[in-house]
Structure 1
Amino acid sequence: MTAVSSTIKVNDKKTINGWAIYDWANSAYFLVISTAIFPAYFLSNTPEIVSLLGMEMTNSSLYSYAVSFSYIVIVLLSPLLSGIADFGNKRMYFLKLFTIFGSLACIALYFFAGVGQMWLGVTAFILATIGCAGGIVFYNAYLPEIVTEDRFDAVSAKGYSFGYIGSVLLLVMILVLAMKPDWFGITSETLPYRIGFVMVGLWWIGFAQITFKRLPGSGLGKITKEMMSKGVGEIKGVYQKLKQQPNILRFLTSFFFYSAGVQTVIYLASAFGSKELGFDTINLITVILILQFLAMIGAYLFAQVSKRIGNKWALIIMNTIWIAICFAAFFVVSHMQFYVIAGFVGLVMGGIQSLSRSTYSKMVDENKEDLTSYFSFYDIVYKLSVVVGTFVFGLIEHLTSNMRYSILGLAIFFIIGILLLTTVKVKFKAA
């Protein structure tokens, strides 16, 4: 890896762009692997019924459990990694480490060509997920080091925008490869997507070199138990404080439930379209591209709605729409109906994620000395929601052998989320 300087200018444009380019690099995993291509590819290239530890389950249940397992590992690692990032000056070391094995895991998916390599595919997917989510801990930890607090929001938004543009650009490249394989002399049905997985890995580790070069390097000291325990101690400390702030705790509990529904839909919408409606991967990529575009519009739309009626009621409206989406998906039978539902998913997907974070920011604003710890706790809640949501989705399908009941079951998460939101107080001043 490229050596970096140990000193850095705060609010330096070159450094900020170097930081944001990592979003460009690793967002390709989230869009291509976890959302657009791999779920449907996995279902198409594995048997309908698989055996794991003596239990038989559908391949889509196995995929759901793989997501759950990945995030369990991430949840267990996050407090330890946060402590090292904040107190051990080892951010660059671990950012490189997680980037390397995450991107290599994406490249390894090239060898997942069918049933015979199913467990290779599962393992590589899990490692890629851990690599991506683990690296983000250290990537985010750089933000307060490279910019002043007044620029946090703007620079963070720049990273998100880089990530959106980069991931969509790569997905379009893979779409061209899949739609016109003859242009590239490809005759194998699976090869365009397997090349796509390699492209994700190379894109991720390749563009990350710019980040590695422009951000401060790691310290030379050893990693100690004290560093790792600091992160765990911070999470425990925030929880103790939250018990004295029941309003924030109620919001986080509400966020946990509706986020479980949201993130499960994001991870498994492609699998649902493939399995229940017979969408091919090319059509699913098109759906995801439309969804991404509408997510940007939705984030802006509900930001305007929140200015008029407040964050709380904007979130309640979006959760209500999510409930309607779950019921509509249970009855969907045609491709056009799925397109319409996906459009609504896009509108509320972008809005509910951005508004949840900004609402939490408003609620914890008075705890300025502990903001990093409060957001570390928020991140743990988010990751736990992925574990629970994807596990429940897989379990319902495992028990009923029908993915539609799994989608319907997600409505319960949103209903609980709304009930809890009604008890939350959020400051609001009409625009």
Structure 2
Amino acid sequence: MQQTASKKVVNAWAMYDWANSAYNLVITTTIFPEYFAAITGDDNPATLDTVQFLGRTFRSDSLYSYSLSFAFLIVALASPLLSSIADTRGNKKHFLAFFMTMGSIACCSLYFFTSERLGLGIFCMIIACIGYWSSLVFYNSYLPEIAAPQDRDRISAKGFAFGYIGSVLLQLICFLFVLKHDWFGFADTGAGSRFSFLATGIWWFLFALVPLYRLPRYSMTLIDPNRSAVFNGYVELRKVWQQLKQLPPLRRFLGAYFFYNMGVQTVMLAATLYAKSELQIPTANLIIALVLIQLIAVPGAFAISKLSEKVGNIRALMIVVAIWIGLCVAGYLAPVGGVVYFYLLAAAIGFVMGGIQSLSRSTYAKLMPDTKDTTSFFSFFDVTEKIANVVGLFAFGYISELTGTQRNSVLALVVYFIIGLLNLFYTLRTKPKTDYPATA
């Protein structure tokens, strides 16, 4: 019977969430989207903000969505091969270190992003996104190796909790750089924002050294040493796909995850621009709401983990997805300038945001068969997530451009969640009901 790793190893694993979540909060969610909107806009809510890029005129918020969508497409295409190579050669830690370094350097390079260097900003934003999400393939794959099945929900939630706490700490420091820029000798809020990007890259790199030092190394598992690592990687991918075809619950769960995660990730990646440009929430109130989301996400992740212990993972996910449907409708109906309404909406999103991510990861780990090729299996999980991000973000930007408002894009998210909910119900029916509270 598998034993959970020592507390030192588990905490080191969770520490990577502490390190990289600063990117997810500062760059993806708060300061960078606000900075991007400021330098690509004219501060006039009555006019449409557009920019010239690659010889075409874009809505600035749509260009932002398209850029992230392109980054996720690169990750989706590359991660299966990379993760399979990591499994066949047993060097997943090296890949984790490579992508972490690439992402953190790109964050630091955003310090040089100004209105005159739009191309540089877009390029660094894409590279940072690729580094962050690619590193998570290898980080997530450690979960079934360091945690026994009965401990995976708890340890997965612990990772997210570390991430939210660490990111909020840096976020508060960065808010001082922006809102009290004169304290630090910065000329304006823009300079304070750019220094925040530099601080985020340094934070990510330094704290990631802890898991890179303490996580265990694994021996090489080359199937045929005479074959190239790339060829073995494709062989491993084919093996995983063949196994997935024989595992209906896991395959159907991935289908459900694709759709509901499309909605979750789009909300997380586009919420700041929606609140700023569509709802016209003042910057100070937006900052308060975003911090509120992060703080509530911590108890939310543990509360939903407890719910899964009582009703099973799939049923708990069904409940959470149903809540997300209501939140998307509430977001569509949100009044312009409605600060109190936005606070309540943000609090509700924060509570279910961490829980659905943590529970999805641990549910997938539970449904996986016993295997040493954990990175290859998690690459399918990761590719499902990234393709969902590609489709969700591109659709969000395209619908906004087509209809002239982001509200219709928010309403479209309801469709994704409904399809995900139906697939979860279908997944539940593929196994005896008694299996779920104990396993998934």
Q: Normalization by structure 1: what TM-score?
A: 0.87
Shift of residue 233, structure 1, vs aligned partner: 3.2
CA distance in 1, matches of 2:345, 2:105: 35
Q: How does 1:411-422 map to 2 (within 5 A)?
A: 411-422=414-425
Q: In the alignment, what sits opposite 1:403?
A: 406
SS in 2 for 1:278: coil
Shift of residue 53, structure 1, vs aligned partner: 4.6
SS in 1 for 2:40: coil
Q: Summarize deviations over 1:238-279 as a string: whole Å, max 9, x none.
A: 333333333432221111001000011011111111111223
Matched AA of 2:30: A
CA distance in 2, matches of 1:304, 1:15: 23
Q: In the alignment, what sits opposite 1:37?
A: 31
SS in 2 for 1:369: coil
CA contact (8 A) 2:300 2:355 kept: yes
The answer to whether 1:181 aligns with 2:181 is yes
Matched AA of 2:64: Y
Q: How does 1:31-110 map to 2 (within 5 A)?
A: 31-47=25-41, 48-110=49-111
CA contact (8 A) 1:255 1:356 kept: yes
Q: Which of 196, 206, 229 is matched with 1:227 structurally?
A: 229
Shift of residue 302, structure 1, vs aligned partner: 2.6
CA distance in 2, matches of 1:78, 1:346: 28
CA contact (8 A) 1:277 1:335 kept: no
Q: In the alignment, what sits opposite 2:45?
A: none
SS in 2 for 1:315: helix
Shift of residue 298, structure 1, vs aligned partner: 2.1
CA distance in 2, matches of 1:302, 1:65: 32
Shift of residue 34, structure 1, vs aligned partner: 0.9
Q: In the alignment, what sits opposite 2:123?
A: 123
Shift of residue 281, structure 1, vs aligned partner: 4.0
Q: Which of 336, 339, 344 is matched with 1:340 structurally?
A: 344
Q: In the alignment, what sits opposite 1:388?
A: 391
Q: In the alignment, what sits opposite 2:44?
A: none
CA distance in 2, matches of 1:195, 1:294: 27
The farther-off stretch of 299-308 and 168-177 is: 299-308
CA distance in 1, matches of 2:175, 2:267: 22
Matched AA of 2:22: A
Q: In the alignment, what sits opposite 1:21?
A: 15
Q: In the alignment, what sits opposite 1:196?
A: 196
CA contact (8 A) 1:37 1:281 kept: no
CA contact (8 A) 1:310 1:428 kept: no
Shift of residue 217, structure 1, vs aligned partner: 7.6
Q: Which of 325, 329, 332 is matched with 1:330 structurally?
A: 332
Unmatched runs of 5 consecutive residues or more in structure 2: 42-48
Q: In the alignment, what sits opposite 1:167?
A: 167
CA contact (8 A) 2:72 2:386 kept: yes
CA contact (8 A) 1:311 1:428 kept: no
Matched AA of 2:354: G
C-alpha spacing 1:210/1:318, structure 2 compared with 1 (3 Å): closer
Matched AA of 1:123: F
C-alpha spacing 1:368/1:173, structure 2 compared with 1 (3 Å): same
C-alpha spacing 1:427/1:337, structure 2 compared with 1 (3 Å): farther
Shift of residue 314, structure 1, vs aligned partner: 2.7
CA distance in 2, matches of 1:83, 1:371: 8
Q: In the alignment, what sits opposite 2:207?
A: 207
- Count how many residue pairs are aligned between Structure 1 and Structure 2: 419
CA contact (8 A) 2:285 2:339 kept: no
CA contact (8 A) 1:256 1:382 kept: yes
Matched AA of 2:299: I
CA contact (8 A) 2:74 2:130 kept: yes
Over the aligned positions, Cα root-mean-square deviation in angstroms equals 3.0
CA distance in 2, matches of 1:245, 1:64: 34
Matched AA of 2:387: L
C-alpha spacing 1:96/1:53, structure 2 compared with 1 (3 Å): same
CA distance in 2, matches of 1:248, 1:81: 22
Q: In the alignment, what sits opposite 1:292?
A: 294
CA distance in 2, matches of 1:402, 1:289: 26
CA distance in 2, matches of 1:148, 1:320: 30
Unmatched runs of 5 consecutive residues or more in structure 1: 1-9
The farther-off stretch of 262-271 and 302-311 is: 302-311
C-alpha spacing 1:303/1:162, structure 2 compared with 1 (3 Å): closer
C-alpha spacing 1:247/1:43, structure 2 compared with 1 (3 Å): same
CA distance in 1, matches of 2:141, 2:313: 27
Q: Summarize deviations over 1:150-175 as a string: whole Å, max 9, x none.
A: 87666555443332222111001111
Q: How does 1:250-399 map to 2 (within 5 A)?
A: 250-333=252-335, 334-364=338-368, 367-369=369-371, 372=374, 373-399=376-402
CA distance in 2, matches of 1:219, 1:363: 25
CA distance in 2, matches of 1:218, 1:420: 36
Q: In the alignment, what sits opposite 1:3?
A: none
SS in 2 for 1:45: helix
CA contact (8 A) 1:85 1:141 kept: no
C-alpha spacing 1:410/1:88, structure 2 compared with 1 (3 Å): same
SS in 1 for 2:371: helix
CA distance in 2, matches of 1:337, 1:399: 27
